[in-house]
Amino acid sequence: MRDGVVEVSPGRFREVQGRYFDDFVVGHVYEHRPGRTITDADNVWFTLLTMNTHPAHFDYELSKKTEFGRPLVVSPLTIALMTGMSVSDTSGKAIANLGWDEVRMVHPLFVGDTIYCESEILDKRESKSREGQGIVTFKTTAKNQDGVVVSHFKRSVLVWKRGHGNLDD
């Protein structure tokens, strides 16, 4: 079996997503690929979707007068992309997302930038109240195309242990 694919019958394969609690090792780092280039449509759409109407995200003329000289990518879009890019490796078998901590935006992101993310497993423990489940905590970091860290956060998820939950059916 190759990671991410299981043979369901001779010559027939099924893509599977995520890892069981048992598969996570503290200290392991997962690089999430492919990267994601942010378009102007992404940025404007997300500002409208979230009702964040600050002109720094879509008014090119106003943005020319700022220290950045161009519109900033709206921060919740960055967090959403980082989360989405990490799902197949970190929470594809999650029962619940338990939350984000220490969310930081450390460098501006602009339309045309490409982000690449990776997640480091920080901690894992068996659930005290839910048999067959465990909690995994990881730090996800996003870098732009130049390798500059633009954002990072910690996230915890509740995940099935192998042999519990029928997620590969």
Which DSSP state fits 21? Answer: G
Average pLDDT over residues 137-164: 96
- Map out the domains of the chain with their CATH numbers: 19-160 (3.10.129.10)
Q: Is 1 helix (H, G, I), strand (E, B) or coil?
A: coil
- Whether 69 shows a pLDDT value over 80: the answer reads yes
pTM (2 decimals)? 0.89
Buried b (16+ CB within 10 A) or exposed e, 80-116: ebbbebbbbbbbbbbbeeeeeeeeebeebbbbebebb
- Whether 169 shows a pLDDT value over 90: the answer reads no
Mean pLDDT of the chain: 92
For residues 165 and 155, is the Cβ–Cβ distance under 8 A? no
pLDDT digits (tens, 9 = 90+) for 13-36: 888 788 999 999 999 999 999 999
Nearest Cα neighbor of 97 from 88, 82, 87 is 87
